[in-house]
Structure 1
Amino acid sequence: MARDSAHRPVETVDTAFDVIELLKRTDGAGITAIADELGLAKSTVHRHVKTLESRGLLVQEGDTYRISTWFLDYGVHVRNEHTLFPVVKPKVDELAAETDEKVWAVIEEHGMGVHIYGAEGRHSVKTHARIGQRTPLHQFAAGKAILAHLPADRIDDVLDQYGLAAQTDRTITDRDELREELATVRDRGYAFNREESVVGVHAVGAPIRDQSGVAVGAISVAGPANRLRGDLLTDELPDLLLGATNEVEINLAHS
């Protein structure tokens, strides 16, 4: 019984984070809207919101509550303290300047890909990707590069937990097809994304591995499909990425 209690969620904490998630998703809401959306009593929502506001985690604008910049402080701190960040940032900046495209550094956390840093080249295009975004690993190049270089049982856990939802009609949603793709990624050392996360955008991603060969992150280069194609996509960018990730791996091992 004690063991079950130890793993039971604390309802008040769960509710507080449900409120925070809702405010993030809606960019702010009032007590009534929060209560209706979460199926809670207004008095319960009011207590949670006022507690969060008193701790500086929410701000009130009229009848609307929004997430405060406390979360920015937390996020920047976590990103800056991550072992990979200070090593990978200069290489991402260098690749963006060299390719003139958008370059991202991504890590895996709780089975999702998290964008921790990005740099724009002169011809970068805007997409939905942003720092802090969490994306299913199978949907994009850096994610597949990471997923391919995780232990087999970890891959199974990720796929069992999140499934294979489609982001576009080109996203791989069949487990056997994905496994074949991941085997190819392991053999050649990099992954492609051909409009699998954003229509009209191609990308290539390569893993950053620790000394045991397990991925600790990845770097990707993304751009318009009509520009990132042919030898540029299949040969030139992969060569640049493999050189960059190898350098990061060496620096990481000796940092």
Structure 2
Amino acid sequence: MTGFSSEAAAARGASSLEKMLGLLDLFTTRAPAWSTEELIRVSGTSRSTCYRYIKALQAAGLVTPVAGGAWMLGPRIIELDRTMRLCDPVTAGGTPPMRRLAAETGHSGLLCLLFSGTVMCVGDAPAQGAPEGIFARGQRRPLFTGAASKVILAHLPPHQLRAIHARHRGTIAAAGLGADWESFRHALRQIREAGHCVTQSEFQPGVVGIAAPLFNAEGGVLGSLGLAAVAEGVPPAARAGLARQVMQAAKEACDRIADQEQLAALPARAVG
């Protein structure tokens, strides 16, 4: 999993709060349960300090005990997820157009959000017979691969793009986005001018991605809305028409996001 980890926090002398919250990053689908001893070891803290962390997380409902003296994520996270589904401006504003787009095209709809240097899926509408492994809610992907990510990357402010390029030159070149700053700028400008991005087989062989950006009322990029389709069902001649449908759905989502004045969505500040 990308993002904050308790090991990284310990290595850089993070605060106690960061270390405690960093424990939550350990719980993944591959490692859903952790014993107290494992948490003590990975946290890099004393036994008494880690016990306090676990007790505080349990009291908040963020972790819960299971058999064998282990811990798993707690029910409070389910409650928070429901709140986000109903109240997050991107999720609330983008989900209806995304689902309608999926129904109209017969392909899987995706709604994504820029999150901590990665792109997270916050909504999905899988098509019947969609391949296993299609991007799904709660999953993260890199910022440089796939239509849903690249179309967000292309609309980040120049100062963020310069910082990203300075840190990720090799990854950017490997993703086909340019071997130097000028070619990187050119590749992103082409995406911006098109208003959408189309990719094929960048995560899964034979899967086409088409995505358009989502903005807040001030024009800051928030995420993307798009489709994932089996390439055999989307010949090159049909992709321009699908791209227009995706851009129209994204425009509707942006209008809905802007209408939520009391829940103004802000673009991510720390990226890459």
Cα shift at 1:29: 0.9
Q: Which has the higher contact order (CA 8 A, sep 6+)?
A: 2
Cα RMSD of the aligned pairs, angstroms, is: 2.8
| Equivalent position to 1:118, from 124, 129, 136 | 124
Match of 2:38 in 1: 33
* Partner Cα separation in structure 2 for residue 250 and residue 145 of structure 1: 18
Q: Is the 8 A contact 2:94 2:256 kept in 1?
A: no
Structure 2 CA distance for partners of 1:218 and 1:55, relative to 1, 3 Å: closer
| Equivalent position to 2:207, from 191, 201, 204 | 201
What SS does structure 2 have at the residue aligned with 1:226? helix
Match of 1:20 in 2: 24
Match of 1:139 in 2: 145
Q: Is the 8 A contact 1:113 1:134 kept in 2?
A: yes
Q: How does 1:51-70 map to 2 (within 5 A)?
A: 51-62=56-67, 63-70=69-76
Equivalences, count: 245
* Partner Cα separation in structure 1 for residue 175 and residue 77 of structure 2: 32
* Partner Cα separation in structure 2 for residue 9 and residue 104 of structure 1: 38
Q: Is the 8 A contact 2:154 2:192 kept in 1?
A: yes
Cα shift at 1:214: 3.6
* Partner Cα separation in structure 2 for residue 73 and residue 220 of structure 1: 27
* Partner Cα separation in structure 1 for residue 175 and residue 255 of structure 2: 33
The code of the aligned residue for 1:184 comes to Q
What SS does structure 2 have at the residue aligned with 1:138? coil
Give a deviation string over 1:140-162, Cα, whole Å, max 9, x none.
21221122122211223444566
Deviates more, 1:184-193 or 1:125-134: 125-134
What SS does structure 2 have at the residue aligned with 1:222? strand
Normalised by the size of structure 2, how large is the TM-score?
0.77
Q: How does 1:183-194 map to 2 (within 5 A)?
A: 183-194=189-200
* Partner Cα separation in structure 1 for residue 63 and residue 168 of structure 2: 30
| Equivalent position to 1:74, from 69, 80, 102 | 80
Structure 2 CA distance for partners of 1:15 and 1:87, relative to 1, 3 Å: closer
* Partner Cα separation in structure 2 for residue 211 and residue 46 of structure 1: 45
Cα shift at 1:225: 3.0
Structure 2 CA distance for partners of 1:64 and 1:189, relative to 1, 3 Å: same
* Partner Cα separation in structure 1 for residue 222 and residue 44 of structure 2: 39
* Partner Cα separation in structure 2 for residue 215 and residue 175 of structure 1: 25
The code of the aligned residue for 2:59 comes to S
Q: Identity over the aligned pairs, expressed in percent? A: 21
Deviates more, 1:51-60 or 1:39-48: 39-48
The code of the aligned residue for 2:54 comes to V
| 2:252 is aligned with 1:247 | yes
Q: How does 1:92-107 map to 2 (within 5 A)?
A: 92-107=98-113
Normalised by the size of structure 1, how large is the TM-score?
0.82
What SS does structure 2 have at the residue aligned with 1:216? strand
Structure 2 CA distance for partners of 1:12 and 1:80, relative to 1, 3 Å: same
Q: Is the 8 A contact 1:100 1:123 kept in 2?
A: no
Cα shift at 1:75: 2.8
